[in-house]
Structure 1
């Protein structure tokens, strides 16, 4: 296997809470919970709130019963992205190659400071981010990215640790359950347990051929990584999307078709934004809706030609909604998918091609929103969602943080 220098992993500690504490200093030391956009559940919590028994995904009323002295704030992904970009800038000053893995995680090629070692490099990264951004992070450095993440997880909170000695690696792996490896959970864990694989070290010492047969090539890559061979590279540039999606929970379930239609239109407006940003066209669209009783339904359609036009995609999705809607059932969430993506390249116009009213309306809408703010001008079909648009927390979602690798 090709050898390379050490790889580092940076992971912010309770990132959403830390970001709120950057702009609201009085929250330091208090039990803080960050709520989802509908304010119904806790999506992140401070260590103080975790100690009170509050878990991620817990309904707000249960969290308040466990931690009545807690401070609960609604999430603000636009602000979290601002700080995330500042962390990315800082990382790029310290390393020639950085992967923006998620809003609060980065992988990087380690450059040891002059006169220092890899342990000093870990402390430098941690302390520089704290100094510049005021967000506490934990840094792990190892021979591979999989090992680096395991080390940073073990060093939390606000830790900085470099482990490059095989004996020290084995001690770490023996103490961690196999589910601590990113990519091992649920079905894969159940496949490994009958083979006596319970810890990370069990996985590293297993027969590679068996791991490939059970977990396919991606599982074999993890085996190599746990044994110190870096086979998963640092991706400084995001790989092209295969699918783009927008959607989520409604907050309040609905059985009204006009509200369901309004949500479809809202999510399509967001999806069209992404098609335009990534300069791709949708060759196929899919619509999925989940109901409160647990069942789901979907529909698919193919536009006449690959497109990113709102009006054309809306016409394609209209019959998908009819197929997916169950009269009388309470819909709770929805997702739209743009599939079979094609690059938006210059092309010769056909005899009947040209710009029509749909193109002109899209151009005006985009110009107004670029100047006055996202969703300042939107389709009238979204009028039933007035309270959603009135809440500024709904103007930016985690999937709108562009450039990260994991989404």
Structure 2
């Protein structure tokens, strides 16, 4: 691999809350929680609200009990994407290579300003984003991206820290549990425990061959990164998708087959949008349904011919949903997956091929929706979800923010 200079990591501090404070200045300093699609749970909280014990993913009724005087607002991913892309533009002015990792995170090639050092550069990046976008961020700079993320995590909130000395790195690693390494949690952490690996430094000092045997090649890459050898590159352009997915929580659980079918159709319309935007065809499909009692159902199917056609995919998903459905059980969430993605390439038409009815209808639908709104025309099967479409917050999702390398 070509050797590269230091790598930086930018992570916004309580980004969704910060974004709300950009347009509603009176929220500054107040305990603020941002609610998910149906307002059922807290998906982000300010540091002030966190001090009351409110956690991410907590149901709203529990958050209200812990923080009754908090201000709770419904999320607006359209607005968050605007600020996210402003941060991206600012980063591209400050660095020759930037990876749009997630809606509020960026990795970048660190280029120290003339006459300055990397600590000065970290402060410059942090302050420039605050000046341009009014969103507070934390910046970490290190020899590898894994170390840079650990540094920024340790410097929150509104920190700026560059560590390039091995002794300082080891001091940081010794103080952080191994689960702070992105990619190590749950099962992987349990696999390391019998070997006495509990801190990041334990992992860095372990035998490389042991780590490869326990955590495979991806775990070995983290070992190299923790030891200061950059083996995970910056991706200035997003790599091709391996899988596309759309779905999420229903907000209100249901055991009605017609509502479950309506959610499948809604999610499929959004999934087809992505297939066509990325110009790929699905070779396999799957549907996953999660139930309120903790159980889940799944159905899968392989298509005879890869496609992005709504009518063909709907016929494929129908038996998948039947297999995932548990009669009378309260379903709470659903995800659709398009797998085995193939590039959408021009093909020679046969003698009797032409523009099919579905293709023509899709073209008309897209033209109208582009002009009048994303869901101005939608399938009649989604009529049971009228309240969902009436709520503007449900018209856009974090997955609709395109170009990120993280999901």
TM-score, with normalisation over the residues of structure 2? 0.98
Aligned equivalent of 1:60: 60
Q: What's the secondary structure of 2:341's corresponding residue?
A: strand
Whole-angstrom distance in 1 between the partners of 2:383 and 2:3: 58
User: How far has the Cα of 1:322 moved from its partner?
Assistant: 2.2
Q: What's the secondary structure of 1:151's corresponding residue?
A: helix
Aligned equivalent of 1:310: 310
User: How far has the Cα of 1:356 moved from its partner?
Assistant: 1.4
Map Cα deviations across residues 246-304 of structure 1 (whole Å, 9 max, x no partner): 11111111111111111010000000000001000111211121222222222222334
User: How far has the Cα of 1:130 moved from its partner?
Assistant: 0.3
Q: Aligned pair in 2 of structure 1 residues 331, 398: CA closer, same or farther (>3 Å)?
A: same
Q: Which moved more, 1:98-107 or 1:309-318?
A: 309-318
1:97 aligns with 2:97: yes
Aligned equivalent of 2:379: 379
1:366 aligns with 2:350: no
User: How far has the Cα of 1:3 moved from its partner?
Assistant: 2.9
Structure 2, gaps ≥5 residues long: none
Q: Any residues of structure 2 matched to 1:6-405 within 5 Å, and which?
A: 6-405=6-405
Whole-angstrom distance in 2 between the partners of 1:326 and 1:29: 46
Whole-angstrom distance in 1 between the partners of 2:49 and 2:326: 40
How many positions carry a matched residue from both structures? 407
Whole-angstrom distance in 2 between the partners of 1:54 and 1:65: 9
User: How far has the Cα of 1:2 moved from its partner?
Assistant: 4.7
Map Cα deviations across residues 133-168 of structure 1 (whole Å, 9 max, x no partner): 000000000000000001101111101110001111
Q: Which moved more, 1:90-99 or 1:372-381?
A: 372-381
How well do the aligned residues superpose, as a CA RMSD in angstroms?
1.0
Contact 1:143 1:228 survives alignment (8 Å):
yes
* 4+ residue runs over 3 A deviation: none
Aligned equivalent of 1:4: 4
User: How far has the Cα of 1:377 moved from its partner?
Assistant: 1.0
User: How far has the Cα of 1:323 moved from its partner?
Assistant: 2.4
Contact 1:259 1:385 survives alignment (8 Å):
yes
Q: Which moved more, 1:86-95 or 1:283-292?
A: 283-292
Structure 1, gaps ≥5 residues long: none
Whole-angstrom distance in 2 between the partners of 1:378 and 1:254: 22
Q: What's the secondary structure of 1:302's corresponding residue?
A: strand
